[in-house]
Amino acid sequence: MRIDLLRHGTTGRDGHLDGRTDPPLSEAGWDQFRRQTQSGEWSRVVSSPLVRARAAAEDYARRTGCALHVDPDWSELDFGQWDGRKRSDIMSAPEEAALLEAFYADPMVAASDGESWADLQARVSRAVDRILVTPELASVLVVTHGGAIRAALAHLLGWPLRQLWSLRIHPGTHLTLEAGQGADGAPWAEIVEIIQP
């Protein structure tokens, strides 16, 4: 099965921790999305419910007539008390800076009132497995977020979450994977292509 993971286009809020904070796509973000999907043919589109991903996925499904499924497990990580704030503002407060550094270093650390990376990986893993057990789908486009894409790669490729920061996933980044399940039911994948916007 081919799975294409597409991070939504830019919202113009680079540097913000926008998890559940949900700004719409900017015009540049819409352009990124259209460029990354113009030559694709997918039998199904799966989307995060957040408007910056969902609006573009709905537009694509409407234009092409393919099926659309909105899956809350593909939502971005909930940054809790940091959600919507600029990373640089958080780093300017020593106590918060230490917690933010720990948050990126340890998958079990969560922001206050938010999720940990381990929480995110657990729900994205469920979402990936639901796709893999649908054999009639030859190709699926997933419109989601940077954190969710990292969690999907950790699940499919076995990469530790700590190492996923070595892969840059700008808004509008498109990753193509061949994926499946082994005889034991374990997921596997290989990256076929990465297209940065």
Closest of 56, 23, 52 to residue 40, by C-alpha: 56
* Residues known to be catalytic: 8, 76
Residues 6+ apart with CB under 8 A from 16: 84, 85, 86, 87
Cα→Cα distances 65→61, 69, 169, Å: 5, 13, 28
Q: Round to whole Å and give the CA distance between 181 and 188.
A: 6
Q: Which of 126, 123, 82, 125 is CA-nearest to residue 103?
A: 82
Neighbours of 188 (CB within 10 A): 14
Phi, psi of 69 (to 5 degrees): -130, 125
Distance (Å, whole) CA 141 – CA 44:
6
